A and B are shown apart, each in its own frame.
Chain A
Amino acid sequence: MSVLTDEMRSVAEQIVAKYPNRRSAALPLLFLVQSVEGHVTDSGMRDVADILGLTPAEVLATGSFYTMLKKKPQGEYLISVCRNISCTHLGAHKVFDAAREKLGIEPGGTTPDGRFSLEAAECLATCDGAPSMQINYEDFYKVTPSEVVEIIDSLAAGKDVKSVAGETVRPAKDIAFETATAGLDLPHETADTRERLVGGESPPSDMAPGHRPVVPGIDAPPAEGGGS
């Protein structure tokens, strides 16, 4: 069962075209799956494997490594409270407790209505705003427990909530799509222009990483007339 429609597959091909090597598109394509399914599903990973010419196990190996690629259903709004040094020393636990109490869920959990997920995040590089949090990766600085409750109430009521930079908090699937398609619509054809600067021959577009043995059919097309 395919989860990526023909339209999504054409977006996927545009993403793949950004890179000299198809496999490099693994992370954005997994974000694309997340933008459709809400998390990275088995069938979505099979689609990614199909598009990239990998095995599903290889896609799982990559996808399971990264914390933003979610392995179980997520809420529409993911609240990530930073737990690292500066935030902890400035009272992150109070922010965290307020969110936990308000939502009635533990870290890694999602409310039964599917609206909110909560997680303890590692340093979000917002230490100047400690204690800080992100909601669907928009930043909130110097958060107080009562503010967390207010923000959750506003989101639950469908109101517009703005980050410290004035960006509107958008649903998780929208943000996953934005992440998947970062930098699209750019011209990406320089292979033929290189020699104008310095000379030299073109590399194979699907070359294997230099530090690994080439695995026919995975890292590169099978060598012609090769094996026996």
Chain B
Amino acid sequence: MIDETYMVLKRAREFPKDSWTLKRALDDGAYDNLKKAVTEISQADLIELVKNAGLRGKGGAGFPTGMKWSFVPKDVFPKYVVINHDEGEPGTFKDREIAERDPHQMIEGIAIAAYAVGANKAFIYCRGEFALGSRRMDRAIKEAYEKGFLGKGIFGSKFDLDIVLHRGAGAYICGEESALLDSLEGFRGQPRLKPPFPAIKGLYGQPTVVNNTETVSTLPHIVANGVDWFKGFGTEKSPGTKVFSVSGHVERPGNYEVAYGTTLDQLLDLAGGMKDGKTLKAIIPGGASAPLLTHADYALDFDSLKEAGTMLGSGAVVYMDETTCMVRNALVTTEFFAHESCGKCTPCREGTSWAVKVLRRVESGEGRQEDMDLLLDIANGMDGRSFCPLGDAASWALRSNVKLFREEFEAHVREGRCTFDGEHKELVGARSGIDTGISQQGDEGLGGEDRLS
């Protein structure tokens, strides 16, 4: 079995009892690399360093971080750094752990990113449901101010930085960077048309870098150890390590940090193999948005998974065993997208909720033989036709479930029942709002008596 390669999770795993405290973080060298960056490295050199290291964003898209920074215009002020800590991709729980267990590493990374692009204000958009993580970040930010790691003249340099902790209020779509910015501006979290990209016009119309929690938490390690060291891990085009969130039917679900290029088989070994020795049936390799795989013989890096017709995404790996009903899997996934569709674009708004209706019919044994083609048709109608990738993701997940497991869908129709246990219907149908057909984010529960008059 391979070993994990700790970088972002190093402090968390070495000191599980107090990794989030200031004392432990300082004893372990926290903020040394921020000091090194602001006192020894110029802003331009820092951007070059991260560019040369080949660091790619760890929120899902895998865009090169240094390149993203270099798009920010030098002569427009103010600029902002916004941390996307709105983790919500089903199966993903890495950012939550990184912030809960090592908030000081995250703050150090945010400060390094802000220094690089010349921003004096950074926002952490923390998912509303993350109560513990918010508490720990809140405390860590205050401690960092007290120690002079934030505020004015950091480490005697000319660099000032304020970090504002902002809580979301429950909306998956706010993990999409332009929707996140709208939400942070006090609007409904709906995606913007791009271009312009946030690096040019972002928060309040100013140049804005939006980086993921895991991405910024990697920065202190690059500053500390340099390009060659960093490129010593992973593959040529996906250098470094990645925290994979492993869940589903495995013996030891959890976050595992390994070098890019590790295979799905090796990751499964780390997680103790399939639960109760059952047989692997399907894998979601990169969050609910990623098309399924049916065996574990793939390397976990951006290019290998793209070649396999799926994606690395946020690094959420869900292993499913032989007892899994794939119609149910498609239904749960599509209900999620239907609920979280912001309602802005028609193909996504209508496509997801109609697909739910058809999937409900098939799962409850009332489906028709032509429903499988109908589902594929709905998927095609959503793919690539909306502002943001939510509709695309819904179509990819739906399409791969139907295409890879068509026989299972047909059996549901033929036998007029769920061919697995079928006892889950109450929960699957329990999402309030979906039955009405107006399932989109925010449309639920606003009765007449609550309306402003």
Contact = CB atoms under 8 A, between A and B. Distances in A.
B151 A88 contact: no
Contact of A66 (B89, B171, B201): B171
B253 A23 contact: no
B333 interface: yes
A21 B204 contact: yes
Contacts of A139: 132
B202 to A, nearest CB: 8
A112 interface: no
Given A41-B450, A46-B452, A123-B92, 17 more contacts: A23-B185, A30-B169, A60-B451, A62-B186, A67-B169, A68-B170, A88-B332, A88-B427, A89-B324, A108-B445, A123-B288, A125-B130, A178-B134, A183-B164, A187-B151, A208-B204, A211-B196
A107 B433 CA distance: 10
29 contacts: A18-B164, A27-B167, A62-B188, A65-B171, A66-B189, A68-B170, A93-B423, A97-B426, A108-B432, A120-B432, A121-B129, A125-B88, A125-B92, A127-B318, A128-B247, A130-B247, A137-B129, A139-B132, A163-B132, A167-B135, A178-B135, A179-B131, A187-B145, A190-B162, A194-B78, A198-B77, A207-B204, A211-B192, A211-B205
A71 interface: yes
Nearest to B164: A18
B265 to A, nearest CB: 20
Contacts of A60: 451-452
Interface in A18-44: 18-21, 23-28, 30-31, 41-42
B126 interface: yes
Contact of A42 (B92, B204, B452): B452
A82 B182 CA distance: 27
A178 B135 CA distance: 9
Interface in A93-139: 93, 96-97, 100, 106-108, 119-130, 134, 136-139
Contacts of B450: 41-42, 71-72
A92 B441 CA distance: 22
Nearest to A57: B452
A31 B185 CA distance: 16
Q: Classify the interface of chain A: helix, strand, loop or mixed.
A: loop
Contacts of A71: 445-447, 450
* Interface bin, chain B: 35 or more
A196 B154 CA distance: 12
A186 B329 contact: no
A197 interface: yes
A191 B450 CA distance: 40
B41 interface: no
A1 interface: no
A207 B77 CA distance: 13
Given A72-B447, A130-B253, A84 B324 contact: no
B427 A96 contact: yes
Contacts of A188: 162, 164
Contacts of B444: 67, 108
A125 B96 contact: yes
A203 interface: yes
A157 interface: no
Contacts of B332: 83-85, 88
B381 interface: no
B310 to A, nearest CB: 15
Interface string B203-245: 0111000000000000000000000000000000000000001
B255 interface: yes
Given A57-B452, A85-B332, A122-B340, A128 B192 contact: no
A179 B205 CA distance: 26
Nearest to A180: B167
A129 B245 CA distance: 11
B91 A86 contact: yes
A69 interface: yes
Nearest to B152: A193
Given A194-B77, A211-B205, A66 B428 contact: no
* Interface bin, chain A: 35 or more
Nearest to B440: A65
Nearest to A196: B158
Contacts of B163: 186
A83 B431 contact: yes
A211 B445 contact: no
Interface in B167-200: 167-172, 182-189, 192, 196
A226 interface: no
A52 interface: yes
A118 to B, nearest CB: 9
B349 to A, nearest CB: 14
A208 to B, nearest CB: 7
B101 to A, nearest CB: 10
A138 B135 CA distance: 12
A200 B73 CA distance: 13
A124 B129 contact: yes
Interface string B66-100: 00000000011110000000011111110110001
A85 B453 contact: no
A150 B185 CA distance: 42
Contact of B339 (A27, A122, A138): A122
A138 B132 contact: yes
B430 interface: yes
B121 A190 contact: yes
A85 B90 contact: yes
B118 interface: yes
B33 interface: no
A187 B162 CA distance: 8
Contacts of A121: 129
